[in-house]
Amino acid sequence: MPATPAPPLVRARGLRQQFGAFTALDDVDFELQDHTIYGLLGRNGAGKTTLMQILTGQTLPSSGRIEVLGTDPYESAAIMQQMCFVADTQRYPDSVCVRHVLSSAELLVPRWDSDYAHHLVEKFALPENRRVKKLSRGMTSALGIVVGLASRAPLTVFDEPYLGLDAVARKMFYDELIADYAEHPRTIVLSTHLIDEVADLLEHVLVLDRGRLVLDVDTDTARASAAVAEGPAADVARVVGSHTVLHHESLGNTVRTTFLSGTDGIDETDRPAGVSIHAVSLQDLVVHLHTDPAAGSHARIRTASTTQEAPL
């Protein structure tokens, strides 16, 4: 008999969050599996922070249900022991020093690795005796990274963890994350705008646009699901055919069209000689999936159905 698949670490169904007349989340369904690095992507105001707050048990959705390890995470002490949320606006009492954060984490976080935490503190050159409120923006972010990585929590959520970090420090974070993940697999959610920088880290992406989940696929499927055709307008139109167009621009005598090609790709046997077809970067795909609010439509790609949903 085939093995029964393991239940997801997180399961959300029909999540909706309303703030007065504003809909922050609109009927969002998703699952997070064990031992996977997820990218939670989208523009400011897309609903990412709201989703992370619900996921980490800080707030209740207006409707719908979410379960972490089979339990509603809202104010659940048991579930809080299984996760670490590093917010971009993390706050500490005025008198707290870096070393106090580390010593408190050692007492409160079940899987805390003190040796690894101190390794990270040295690597990011954090002054242990300095008050957190006196740290620069980049050092405060680095402290959050230390807490998130050294927690070794089964579910670790980073909200814009790189704010204020220079390119060298961000690269250190990415290298440490992937190396420690290889040694200690867990589920990691990265909310970020620097998609090109983290694209090779991500195994699965969730993209929100105006509160709706418009992309929920593994990264390989995401990259294979769209293409760019460039050439004379008539020839490009022939290649694109009835596929959903995400973006179109004119470049002198040629046009450049980004379109959903389907996970099986494009049959190039009938491609006009003057048309070039190439892959879309993950960042460009995410950018083009965002819609004009006036259009009121979305192109959606979901792993579960393995089908594309064209705009309404």
State the CATH number of the domain containing residue 209: 3.40.50.300
- Which percentage of the chain shows pLDDT scores above 70? 89
Q: Give me the amino acid identity at 111.
A: R
pLDDT at residue 306 is higher than 80: no
Using one digit for the tens of pLDDT, what is the confidence trace for 136-189? 999 999 999 999 999 999 999 999 998 999 999 999 999 999 999 999 999 999
Q: List, in sequence order, every residue forming a beta bridge with 66; answer none if it has no partner.
A: 12
Q: Where are the beta strands (DSSP E) in the chain?
A: 10-19, 22-32, 37-41, 63-68, 83-86, 155-159, 187-191, 204-209, 212-218, 226-231, 245-251, 254-260, 276-279, 300-302, 308-309
pLDDT at 102 over 50: yes
267-287 per-position pLDDT tens digit: 666 678 889 998 899 999 988
**pLDDT above 90 (res 305):** no
Q: Give backbone dihedrals phi and psi of 187, rounded to 5 degrees, phi first.
A: -95, 125
pLDDT score recorded for residue 308:
41
Report the DSSP beta bridge partners of residue 65. 13
Q: What is the DSSP letter of 33?
A: -
CB 217 within 8 A of CB 300: no
Residue 3 within any structural domain of the chain: no
Please tell me whether residues 200 and 244 are part of one structural domain. Answer: no
Instruction: Give the mean model confidence (pLDDT) for residues 1-8.
Output: 72
Model confidence pLDDT, tens digit, residues 104-123: 999 999 999 999 999 999 99
Whether residue 247 is found in the same domain as residue 114: no
What pLDDT was estimated at residue 241? Answer: 86
Residue 17 lies in a domain: yes
Residues 124 and 199 in one domain: yes
Q: What is each CA distance from 134 to 27, 39, 137, 245, 262, in whole angstroms?
A: 42, 31, 9, 49, 51
**Could you tell me if 211 and 235 lie in one domain?**
no
**In the predicted model, is pLDDT for residue 220 greater than 80?**
yes
Measure CA 91 to chain center. Answer: 23
Model confidence at 17, in pLDDT bands (50, 70, 90)? very high
- Calpha distance 270→162 (Å, rounded): 45
> Which residues of 43-186 form beta strands (DSSP E)?
63-68, 83-86, 155-159
Residue 1 domain-assigned? no
The residue segments making up the domain with residue 79 are: 10-217
List, in order, residues 6 or more apart from 45 with CB less than 8 Å away: 210
pLDDT digit string (tens) for 41-88? 999 989 999 999 999 999 999 999 999 999 999 989 999 999 999 988
175 and 235 within one domain: no
Shared domain check, 289 and 209: no
Is-contact 26 16, C-beta < 8 A?
Answer: yes
pLDDT of residue 243: 87
The answer to whether residues 56 and 79 belong to one domain is yes
| SS3 assignment, position 307 | coil
